[in-house]
């Protein structure tokens, strides 16, 4: 499957400066930038930077970022699901995971999360894909946000709904392990019915077990 990537760039004013929201960005551009030190939700900033460069180099990989000058202050990743997870079992070329979204603490009130996600879906770039995200409460920044588990879940749902991602049921054990965890999905307009049916079989694997 050919993965078309259309670079899009937006600028937002911020305290007499500007924030650039852009992507998908190539590895060569990412290598000229540095990570904000607060971007440490998943791993150390320097290690996360290396991971972003790697993802950007994948045929299906997409990195949408927000930066102030040469400092990355937020990012969203898109890639094939990890081969250790059930979502990779069908090896579907048109199933893409929205893997991570992170915004540095001082920039969280600017709506960068929704701006980055909307940028990824602009110009119909994702209409050939089923895009999904798995939300696990243990990845959420409850401490710094001051939100409860359910308030954070509500915030993430609102964020994903900006690109028409909706809640989907599944019997995946990790998602079912806590009621706040959830699967959210957007099926592109050009996705064939056969892919939708295959995704349904991946979502539910216990339905005939008694």
What are the DSSP calls for 181-201, one per residue?
Answer: -EEEEEE-TT--HHHHHHHHH
**φ, ψ of residue 209 in degrees (nearest 5):** -100, 135
3-class DSSP assignment, residue 142 = helix
Task: Give pTM, 2 decimals.
Answer: 0.93
| Residue 209 confidence (pLDDT) | 45
**119-165 confidence digits (pLDDT tens):** 999 999 999 999 999 999 988 888 888 899 999 999 999 999 999 99
Calpha distance 127→119 (Å, rounded): 13
Calpha distance 102→108 (Å, rounded): 9
| Residue 208 confidence (pLDDT) | 52
CB 65 within 8 A of CB 72: yes
| Residue 17 confidence (pLDDT) | 86
- Closest C-alpha among 153, 64, 69, 155 to residue 109: 155
- Closest C-alpha among 72, 84, 16, 8 to residue 39: 72
| Residue 207 confidence (pLDDT) | 61
**φ, ψ of residue 114 in degrees (nearest 5):** -70, -35
| Residue 210 confidence (pLDDT) | 41
Calpha distance 16→29 (Å, rounded): 24
| Residue 14 confidence (pLDDT) | 86
**φ, ψ of residue 182 in degrees (nearest 5):** -160, 160
| Residue 16 confidence (pLDDT) | 84
Q: What pLDDT tens digit does each residue of the chain (210 aa) get? A: 889 899 999 999 888 889 999 999 999 999 999 999 999 988 999 999 999 999 999 999 999 999 999 999 999 999 999 998 999 998 999 999 999 999 999 999 899 999 999 999 999 999 999 999 999 998 888 888 889 999 999 999 999 999 999 999 999 999 999 999 999 999 999 999 999 999 999 999 876 544
């Amino acid at each position: 499957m050919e993965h078309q990537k259309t670079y899009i760039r937006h600028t937002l004013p911020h305290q007499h400066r500007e924030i650039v929201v852009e992507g998908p960005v190539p590895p060569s551009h990412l290598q000229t930038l540095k990570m904000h030190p607060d971007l440490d939700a998943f791993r150390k900033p320097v290690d996360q930077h290396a991971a972003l460069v790697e993802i950007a180099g994948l045929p299906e990989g997409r990195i949408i970022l927000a930066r102030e000058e040469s400092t990355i202050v937020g990012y969203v990743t898109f890639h094939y699901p990890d081969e250790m997870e059930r979502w990779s079992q069908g090896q579907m070329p048109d199933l893409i995971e929205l893997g991570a979204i992170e915004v540095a603490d001082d920039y969280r009130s600017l709506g960068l999360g929704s701006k980055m996600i909307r940028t990824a879906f602009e110009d119909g770039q994702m209409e050939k894909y089923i895009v999904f995200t798995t939300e696990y409460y243990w990845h959420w920044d409850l401490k710094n946000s001051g939100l409860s588990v359910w308030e954070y879940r509500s915030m993430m749902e609102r964020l994903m709904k900006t690109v028409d991602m909706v809640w989907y049921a599944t019997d995946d054990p990790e998602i079912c392990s806590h009621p706040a965890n959830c699967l959210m999905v957007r099926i592109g307009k050009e996705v064939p019915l056969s892919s939708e049916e295959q995704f349904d079989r991946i979502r539910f694997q216990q339905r005939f077990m008694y």
